[in-house]
Structure 1
């Protein structure tokens, strides 16, 4: 069927290119506004207790403060006449802003907790309303207007709203820098790998189709559901990378089918194209299915941050495969032997570029298979040593700590944590959902104030400390259908103590249903949302990958071998990332602050890297299975298969790694971790795993490599997904 399809492409190539160009233009128009439709959050489970608490606060109490303005007196104390006058003006002006509510400041409320211990700083708290896009736009405008240096006060912006603005700004800047690095470098490397300018431009064409098409998809999805802005980063890196992977395989096979340049007329273009689509095209179809399957696991998680990467990842994989199987064959049909145009001077005329057998990879496979145990043991031990930091891994969620120390969001958060009696970022919110009489509310608030590390509990019934009412309460915290309580603490946000306090508050008896929120409550709920669904996500990846690899190879051993090696390579990569980003060994060089591994980003990397590893698995094992099916002994099939695919896999991995490593220049630490982690995992997989461990294990298994029970063999015979 694919052979006939390739013949059809050759006959209708120009029509297909015209239609594809029109569709690409339409996708470009549809995707032009993608940034304006994407959101900056998505790290919380919408069904969690902390999300319910936040929802009730927004609906009934005007919202939780998400913008913090830290005001420092230019001279002396914030109680000086000039500072007090400027603070009162700042508070009044902020109250008059559209979309801003619950503005409270030290100067308006006179609450000592809103002034720093040394008297130099005071804070203004406000809630910026709207959906995430509206909050980001409003916060950006407010920060530009109020976070300025005046004659009496110098103001900096912090809090969740300001941090989101900082992160989104840095992400957009990081994306531009990464693309400015990756695209020219990738083009240079493509010219070196292919040996001709025309061939080198083809992978960029497929990558461009994948990126533009996925931007259109995300723009349309963003109009009907929440999609994270960080999906853009995956789209550009994965679109360019998969475009290179698939085009490299297709163009290399096309060159191979055409024959060695300069040696006779070779195979006719139509026949070479049909054979290329029938072989490399089948591999691309299957490789795309494995990557897309791995990314579907992200759909089981309730955080739209992770679900967004499934939308982007599946979209970019499918569109890249369509580009490689529709647009690229049409281009090859039109170019024919001109695919070699623009040959670089140093390339020998008899060299078929990445299509040629690689003596290095062939010799490496032969050497490994002569002494498989001796070759594999040091590699396995090295990967296990690299994985060892995982024994002390800790997980967290993004906050201002992902920004560099000099950013305003970081400065404000650090000052709140060290300079004020109570840490506003670590406070616990409690919402009582229902009418509560005054005595019951008083007893509940007093009981909470006796918990360890609680400085004070503010409610409409009074402000309590140590079980005793110390001041009158805040009437604005009371509603006919509920009550709100603010639990103040000097604990550091996202610390073990902060999480223990949340659990203690949740365990306390409440007169009506209580919902507990705040920074640490969100961390607990997010971690639970991911960890509780992680087994399902892993099961989806493992079972689907096993089934697809079986259908491709006809063996039940090869999928098991691939899964074990993938886990080993992934563990080594995650161990290195823990050593770098949690333990901070390269913090000064990469300019980030060591912090726990980001839970959502770790899951994301697992799915992406797992899928890409299977991509290269398909490239290699597909050729080995093809050669073995033609009658070659297993050892010879491995040696020849690695000789013919080793250069393709290593070149594809190098080019894809460049796209990911470019994110190491980001000023947002979890993007650095994502880029460096994916790039490192790809290099490890394409070299140590495919180059050494696969030949060693296949040699050791011998005839067992192709074992399959008779009923499964019959299923495979009917499906026939392998290259042949």
Structure 2
């Protein structure tokens, strides 16, 4: 199938790139350019939770609680107060003017700077006071309303030393949104040029280096268009754009790198252009498709969770990965056909390795060493990975808030000051939505709720009772107590006929975490089974997929342990510019899916080449060394390129984006070095012939998908063969391809070949002894 696909790509090599390029550009222009206006800030919570029901009842009865949208915090310098006539008058007039000039965006303004001078809204020393601005819009309109008034929020003309800062839930959301928007542009400005330079170094040719970049750029444009289309039908969180760009760009370039490398390898072996294109598509192309399938399966596990945020990331990331694979097996083979041997044009160094024994290179010597010391290598590496996993035991979870912004961010600092100065007015109160209660029953609920420890003060109604519904609110002294406060409030014994719903941001966070961990085992089971089946069909073995799953879990555990040490325990936080603290549970689940997908991605590229060698008659150890030697440099280059892309996102202002970026960097370093170069060869050496075991029906299914049936037209060059096996060189077609002498699909040992040739007619043609020439 893939050989036929490659030949079609060659036959229509002029039409395919033109059609695909036109489609991608149309997709981006018609939809991608409208993505920003379609993105959502919501989707972090479980829509089926009690807290979501509480929010829905409150919204339907009282409208949206907009009291904490925007907070203007006024600080007076030492020796003065906010009651200074010039300051008080200036702020009061500014707030009146703000409300008059923005009637469509501002619903109300309450604060210390009016005639009542509410003493609850000013500190005892009268050096700090605040005003709260409620915005009219609901949902996404809230953020649009904020941006319409943002530039006019801070008054001009205050005396020297007086400062006005902006806080509030919508102000924090806007700061987070701006930080995420900067991630995409940072990737385009910094990551792409750096990747281009790395590709030139890897390939030694400017033309060859541009091939993966073409796939990468088209993948970004197409992914943004697809994401915009999805946003028209379902809620797509703004955070999805950064994740989709990161994965789409990184994997597209990786896939392009593998395709270009295989095409050049076929040319080095002497294949003509059509055969080289077909073989590249049948081998590297097939591997790219299966690899993308496994990444997509890992990401599709996110669809099990109820949070719209995870679903939107899954939709977008799966689209990006699928598009990257599609471009790699359509556009690239066609461009290969157009360029032919000119793919190495504008070379800056020689890169052809035709005739060289790559198994004797660094990439062949490292796995050989690991196999010689397989037991100790396996023991030490497994113990090291388990040791790195230990910090994960101390992981803590929380919700999205201002602490995800950089410590120096003005909105974050203002919000922290407001929460500590006016704790009873926190913008994240815990709420009790009580329905169907008489006054006496409401008092019973009220008394029980106020006995819960950890509150900043007693519960109080946020609005008068309406249609039998009352909303009681209170602050929580510290976010770390959210879980215990919610648990205690669940023990409130509601009178018969009365419903009590626990709501507010703290409850939403707690129930979101609970929903995630309820679904996590099902996600793990689904992803492991699905990828196991796909790898079994790819490798034609049941042992290799089992080994891959175990190693992936070991690597994932080590990566999550490193992330916990960094982002929860605070190691490196001052240097990298973030604050340690609880992690968002949805982001933890997301990074698990990404790491699992990336690990299986590289596993497929590595083991597929081992399977190729095995099918040509190599022993297990020879296949291990052959596969690692032929993919080691490419996988390492791919990992370095992905690390560069992740590095651009590592400079994000948003902690959770740093978490994903550094998580991918740690996983890539572990995966491309310790696991792929050392642990995989060592474990496979210990398993020996068991590596290739599978029931007959698995072997047949793998064959139908292309294993063993699409043998490359250019068989391995002499240097690729195991030492001690022979290649016959004559002046015919076999000489041009270095065709291997076979018997029953096995390579003939060199001494036996000599004996047979001498027995035939005493004439021995020119023979090369693999790497022992």
**Scaled by the length of structure 1, what TM-score is found?**
0.92
- Would the alpha carbon gap of residues 93 and 525 (structure 1) be closer, same or farther in structure 2, given more than 3 Å must change? farther
Aligned to 1:376, what secondary structure does the other structure show?
helix
1:135 aligns with 2:142: yes
Aligned to 1:72, what secondary structure does the other structure show?
strand
Which sits farther off after the overlay, 251-260 or 67-76? 67-76
- Would the alpha carbon gap of residues 297 and 352 (structure 1) be closer, same or farther in structure 2, given more than 3 Å must change? farther
Structure 1 counterpart of 2:718: none
In 1, the alpha carbon distance for the partners of 2:363 and 2:16 equals 37
Give the superposition deviation at 1:302: 1.5
1:279 aligns with 2:308: no
Structure 2 residue runs of 5 or longer lacking an equivalent are 712-773
- Would the alpha carbon gap of residues 589 and 349 (structure 1) be closer, same or farther in structure 2, given more than 3 Å must change? closer
Q: What does the per-residue CA deviation read over 1:48-83, in whole Å, with 9 as the maximum and x for residues that have no partner?
A: 222222223333223222324133244633344444
- Would the alpha carbon gap of residues 428 and 350 (structure 1) be closer, same or farther in structure 2, given more than 3 Å must change? closer
Structure 1 counterpart of 2:197: 188
2:271 to 267, 270, 274: 267
Which sits farther off after the overlay, 203-212 or 57-66? 57-66
Q: Check the 8 A contact 1:242/1:656 in 2, yes or no.
A: yes
**Equivalent residues in 2 for 1:404-415, closer than 5 Å:** 404-415=406-417
Q: Check the 8 A contact 2:424/2:474 in 1, yes or no.
A: no
Which sits farther off after the overlay, 512-521 or 356-365? 356-365
Q: Check the 8 A contact 2:450/2:459 in 1, yes or no.
A: no
Structure 2 counterpart of 1:450: 451
Aligned to 1:708, what secondary structure does the other structure show?
coil
2:626 to 626, 630, 640: 640
Structure 1 counterpart of 2:770: none
- Would the alpha carbon gap of residues 84 and 447 (structure 1) be closer, same or farther in structure 2, given more than 3 Å must change? farther
1:503 aligns with 2:487: yes
Q: What does the per-residue CA deviation read over 1:610-666, in whole Å, with 9 as the maximum and x for residues that have no partner?
A: 111111111011111111122110000000111111111111111111111211111
Q: Which runs of 4+ in 1 moved over 6 A?
A: 352-358
Structure 2 counterpart of 1:367: 369
**Scaled by the length of structure 2, what TM-score is found?**
0.86
- Would the alpha carbon gap of residues 421 and 680 (structure 1) be closer, same or farther in structure 2, given more than 3 Å must change? closer
Structure 2 counterpart of 1:630: 616
1:487 to 450, 471, 474: 474
Aligned to 1:621, what secondary structure does the other structure show?
helix
Structure 2 counterpart of 1:478: 465
Which sits farther off after the overlay, 389-398 or 606-615? 389-398
- Would the alpha carbon gap of residues 79 and 477 (structure 1) be closer, same or farther in structure 2, given more than 3 Å must change? farther
In 2, the alpha carbon distance for the partners of 1:149 and 1:571 equals 53
Q: Check the 8 A contact 2:167/2:418 in 1, yes or no.
A: no
Give the length in aligned residue pairs.
699
In 2, the alpha carbon distance for the partners of 1:217 and 1:356 equals 42
Give the superposition deviation at 1:259: 2.1
Aligned to 2:424, what secondary structure does the other structure show?
coil
- Would the alpha carbon gap of residues 112 and 538 (structure 1) be closer, same or farther in structure 2, given more than 3 Å must change? farther
Which sits farther off after the overlay, 136-145 or 125-134? 125-134
Which sits farther off after the overlay, 34-43 or 103-112? 103-112
Q: What does the per-residue CA deviation read over 1:172-230, in whole Å, with 9 as the maximum and x for residues that have no partner?
A: 22332233221111000000001100000000101112111111111111122210112
Q: Check the 8 A contact 1:253/1:355 in 2, yes or no.
A: no
Give the superposition deviation at 1:374: 2.4
Structure 2 counterpart of 1:390: 392
Structure 2 counterpart of 1:432: 434
Q: What does the per-residue CA deviation read over 1:327-357, in whole Å, with 9 as the maximum and x for residues that have no partner?
A: 111111101111011101xx22644799976
Q: Check the 8 A contact 2:377/2:682 in 1, yes or no.
A: yes
Structure 2 counterpart of 1:295: 299
Q: Check the 8 A contact 1:128/1:161 in 2, yes or no.
A: no
- Would the alpha carbon gap of residues 444 and 22 (structure 1) be closer, same or farther in structure 2, given more than 3 Å must change? same
Q: Check the 8 A contact 1:6/1:329 in 2, yes or no.
A: yes
Q: Check the 8 A contact 1:66/1:128 in 2, yes or no.
A: no
Give the superposition deviation at 1:379: 2.3
- Would the alpha carbon gap of residues 421 and 618 (structure 1) be closer, same or farther in structure 2, given more than 3 Å must change? closer
Structure 1 counterpart of 2:677: 691
Q: Check the 8 A contact 1:256/1:355 in 2, yes or no.
A: no
Q: Check the 8 A contact 2:202/2:637 in 1, yes or no.
A: yes
In 2, the alpha carbon distance for the partners of 1:167 and 1:672 equals 13
Aligned to 1:13, what secondary structure does the other structure show?
coil
Q: Check the 8 A contact 1:210/1:319 in 2, yes or no.
A: yes
1:562 aligns with 2:564: no
In 2, the alpha carbon distance for the partners of 1:279 and 1:349 equals 21
Q: Check the 8 A contact 2:73/2:418 in 1, yes or no.
A: no
Aligned to 1:71, what secondary structure does the other structure show?
strand
Structure 2 counterpart of 1:124: 131
Give the superposition deviation at 1:454: 3.7
1:201 aligns with 2:201: no
In 2, the alpha carbon distance for the partners of 1:391 and 1:226 equals 33
In 2, the alpha carbon distance for the partners of 1:181 and 1:283 equals 29
- Would the alpha carbon gap of residues 185 and 518 (structure 1) be closer, same or farther in structure 2, given more than 3 Å must change? same
Structure 1 counterpart of 2:53: 52
Q: Check the 8 A contact 1:27/1:213 in 2, yes or no.
A: yes
Q: Check the 8 A contact 2:61/2:467 in 1, yes or no.
A: no
Q: Check the 8 A contact 2:183/2:242 in 1, yes or no.
A: no
Which sits farther off after the overlay, 703-712 or 281-290? 703-712
1:2 aligns with 2:8: no
- Would the alpha carbon gap of residues 427 and 116 (structure 1) be closer, same or farther in structure 2, given more than 3 Å must change? farther
- Would the alpha carbon gap of residues 127 and 535 (structure 1) be closer, same or farther in structure 2, given more than 3 Å must change? farther
Give the superposition deviation at 1:314: 0.5
Aligned to 1:33, what secondary structure does the other structure show?
helix
In 2, the alpha carbon distance for the partners of 1:160 and 1:670 equals 18
Structure 1 counterpart of 2:602: 616
